[in-house]
């Protein structure tokens, strides 16, 4: 199948959306599918206010339409609600071309954390954007229920996976951990206001708090919490060794839709402490971690959990299964032909 993915989140960003797309595209290509990506690096762009890693592309539906026509896709997936997603959505609706979308971020709560906007107002935009999609891909059943309450019932599951060759139990701890007081409590992710890292740094559990990641709140948090250890951005073997060397993984976000870092930590055998909210609430179960509205209590409880149980739970998530779900969401698209009339119409217009 010829699959076109349109996304406003792409390299060199390092976040769950980008990593999920990269891993899924890699699996699709291994299975013989032809995949093209329309992303901000193909256009002039400006940094998104308060989130400079995201580039906002200067792209209209006419130019995006020409790119779609050139590729001649059999399926179009619009991953994000940014300028490129809007342009592709407009083209698809104008040409009667079916498409899927994904709800990666709890956008209303994310915006409310940064701007004086009512979540209800943002939900109006979310409903408008996703309503025409044949399927809306979501990572958890909690998200599916949340969207159904907003009148968006055409959801399909698209969970997340883990590279188990990289994220596995038994790794040696990160070298920086050698002289740190245990228990080591680890956070991995973007260092920004919407991640609620302050709640973790304010917790009273003894030991050492370690922050892995970068973002606009890094300097401020480092200045306010000199006893915490800020390792900066890590990837690959270094990141895996940080997960494996920690005694507990702390996920303080209340707005993430899933938390790819949660299953990476579990896959390394590290129990998880988090709030009982969508995302970790859909993942953490059994003896693999503790969910509690009191984050101190969650951390204390998770420190007593079984690393074996954590690793067993993490092992159920894999990218091949995730990609199979992605393909199932495209089943309304005939696999043997593209909508030639829509493509021809675009060529006439341009």
Average pLDDT for 167-196: 95
Strand, coil or helix: what is 74?
coil
CA distance 196 to 256: 11
Is the preceding peptide bond at 310 cis, omega within 30 degrees of 0?
Answer: no
200 pLDDT more than 80: yes
The mean of the pLDDT values for the chain is: 89
Task: State the DSSP H helix or E strand holding residue 273, giving kind and residue range, or none if neither.
Answer: strand 272-274
Residues of the chain with CATH 3.40.50.2000: 2-161+319-349, 175-314
Q: Residues 317, 157: contact at Cβ < 8 Å?
A: no
CA distance 87 to 205: 48
338 pLDDT more than 90: no
Beta bridge partner(s), residue 272: 249, 289
Comparing CA positions, the residue from 35, 10, 68, 127 lying closest to residue 326 is 35
Q: What is the CATH number of domain 2-161+319-349?
A: 3.40.50.2000
CA distance 91 to 52: 27
Average pLDDT for 286-309: 97
pLDDT at 245: 98
Where does the pLDDT of residue 61 fall: very low under 50, low under 70, confident under 90, or very high at 90 and above? confident
Strand, coil or helix: what is 75?
strand
Distance of CA 281 to the CA centre of its chain: 16
Fold (topology level) of 175-314: Rossmann fold (3.40.50)
Helix axis angle for 61-71 and 340-349, nearest 10°, is 130
C-alpha distances in Å from residue 123, one per residue of 11, 77, 152, 187, 321: 27, 21, 11, 29, 30
Q: Residues 65, 349: contact at Cβ < 8 Å?
A: yes
**Concatenated DSSP letters of 301-324:** HHTTS-HHHHHHHHTT--HHHHHH
pLDDT digits (tens, 9 = 90+) for 118-152: 778 889 999 999 999 999 999 999 999 999 999 99
Strand, coil or helix: what is 225?
coil
Where does the pLDDT of residue 44 fall: very low under 50, low under 70, confident under 90, or very high at 90 and above? confident
pLDDT at 113: 57
Query: pLDDT: is 51 or 274 the higher one?
Result: 274
């Amino acid at each position: 199948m010829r699959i076109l993915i349109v996304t406003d989140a792409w390299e060199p960003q390092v976040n769950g959306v980008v990593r999920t797309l990269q891993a899924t595209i890699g699996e699709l290509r291994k299975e013989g599918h032809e995949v093209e990506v329309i992303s901000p690096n193909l256009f002039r762009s400006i940094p998104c206010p308060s989130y400079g890693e995201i580039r906002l592309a200067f792209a209209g539906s006419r130019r995006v339409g020409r790119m779609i026509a050139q590729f001649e896709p059999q399926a179009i997936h619009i991953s994000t609600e940014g300028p490129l997603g809007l342009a592709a959505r407009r083209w698809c609706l104008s040409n009667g071309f079916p498409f899927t979308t994904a709800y990666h971020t709890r956008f209303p709560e994310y915006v409310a954390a940064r701007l004086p906007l009512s979540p209800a107002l943002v939900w109006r935009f979310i409903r408008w954007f996703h309503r025409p999609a044949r399927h809306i891909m979501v990572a958890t059943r909690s998200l599916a229920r949340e969207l159904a309450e907003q009148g968006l019932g055409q959801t399909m599951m698209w969970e997340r996976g883990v590279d188990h060759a990289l994220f596995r139990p038994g790794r040696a701890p990160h070298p920086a951990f050698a002289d740190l007081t245990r228990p080591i409590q680890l956070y991995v992710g973007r260092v920004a206001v919407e991640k609620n890292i302050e709640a973790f740094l304010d917790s009273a559990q003894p030991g050492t708090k370690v922050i892995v990641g970068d973002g606009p709140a890094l300097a401020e948090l480092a200045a306010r919490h000199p006893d915490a250890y800020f390792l900066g951005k890590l990837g690959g073997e270094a990141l895996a060794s940080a997960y494996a060397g920690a005694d507990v993984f702390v996920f303080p976000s209340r707005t993430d839709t899933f938390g790819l870092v949660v299953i990476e930590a579990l896959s390394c055998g590290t129990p998880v402490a988090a709030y009982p909210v969508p995302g970790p609430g859909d993942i953490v179960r059994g003896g693999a971690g503790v969910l509690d509205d009191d984050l101190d209590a969650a951390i204390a409880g998770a420190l007593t959990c079984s690393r074996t149980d954590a690793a067993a739970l993490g092992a159920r998530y894999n990218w091949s299964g995730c990609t199979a779900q992605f393909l199932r969401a495209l089943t309304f698209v005939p696999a043997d032909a593209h909508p030639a009339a829509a493509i021809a119409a675009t060529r006439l217009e341009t």
